[in-house]
Amino acid sequence: MVLVASGPQGGGAASGSVGSLTYSHNRFGMYVRNRTIPVNPSSSRQAAVRSCLQQLTDRWGQTVTALQRSAWNTYAANITVKNKLGQDVLLTGFNHYLRSNIARLQASATIIDPGPGIFELPEADPTFAITASEATQQVSFTLDNTLAWANEDDGHLIKFVGLPQNPQRNFFGGPWRLCGTVDGDSETPPSSPDAQDSPWPIVEGQRLWAYARISRADGRLSQPFRADALVGA
């Protein structure tokens, strides 16, 4: 399916696939390429995410109370997120419940059943940056430990690192792998930078992308925010 935003003259942005073509965009504008159908490797990581989805779907219907579902629906009615075209759209309460808690399960954090009572997404960390080293095979993440998530119990910064690329590449859309979680603490906030073993083998000169999301203790999940760097020696 192609998502299209029409302009006043009939033009506009498009994202998705139809027939043999895939429509997308980058900072230079729209582009169209031949559609490719990816192979489904049924990897352990895919199976884990699918298991999370099934677990949460069952929990929404069998464990989450009517009052808690109503709170998620109210939250959803007050929150917009960005779609593939960068447009602000509304999701359902069920969508937000899955969105928030799949990320928390990936981080081995507590599932949040009650819907959030604050109607705003957590802000991105403006200091987020990375460095990486071939010698240590580690990625270091710079973060602002004065932010609210870092100073509350059960707040988390969930980090992902992309497959290493040639240094001249300017865009990256995946694949990604989880690269650890930084846990908030109401008494002793986490330190910065935070170093983690790279989920991919890395070599000096490669370009590495990373993104992170903030999960607040009440279940609110931020939009992803990104950084990239060349791998050092």
What's the pLDDT tens digit per position in 95-148? 999 999 999 998 899 999 999 999 999 999 999 999 999 999 999 999 999 999
Spatial contact of 152 and 205, defined as CB atoms under 8 Å apart: no
Token pair belonging to 98: 């899955």
Contact status, residue 130 vs residue 182, Cβ threshold 8 Å:
no
Q: Mapping DSSP to helix (H, G, I), strand (E, B) and coil, where does residue 162 land?
A: strand
- Kindly list the distances between the CA atom of residue 60 and the CA atoms of 1, 53, 88, 97, in Å, as whole numbers in the listed order: 27, 11, 25, 8
Which residues touch 113 (CB under 8 Å, ≥6 apart)? 59, 63, 64, 65, 68
Looking at the structure, tell me whether residues 33 and 49 fall in a common domain. no
Domain presence at residue 62: yes
Quote the CA–CA distance of 94 and 97 in Å, as a whole number: 5
If one counts every other C-beta atom within 10 angstroms of the C-beta of residue 142, the result is 14
What average pLDDT score do residues 44-61 get?
A: 86
Q: Are residues 140 and 195 in the same domain?
A: yes
Q: Are residues 216 and 157 both part of a single domain?
A: yes
Q: How confident is the model at residue 5 (pLDDT cuts 50, 70, 90)?
A: low
Of 27-36, 77-86, 87-96, 185-194, which range is least confident? 27-36
Q: Indicate whether 180 belongs to any domain.
A: yes
4 falls within a domain = no
Q: Are residues 214 and 167 in the same domain?
A: yes
- Answer whether the bond into residue 193 is a cis peptide, omega within 30°: yes
| Residue closest to 210 by CA, chosen among 158, 162, 146 | 162
Is 144 in the same domain as 78?
no
- State pTM to two decimals: 0.81
Q: Are residues 154 and 199 in the same domain?
A: yes
Domains of the chain: total: 3
**Claim to verify: residue 134 and residue 222 sit in the same structural domain:** yes
Residue 78, domain extent: 44-106
Same domain? 160 vs 184: yes
Average of per-residue pLDDT across 198-210: 97
Q: Decide if 187 is inside a domain.
A: yes
57 found inside a domain: yes
Residues 24 and 63 placed together within one structural domain of the fold: no
In a shared domain, residues 155 and 179 = yes
**Does 101 lie in the same domain as 33?**
no
Is-contact 121 79, C-beta < 8 A? yes
**Are 87 and 151 within one domain?**
no
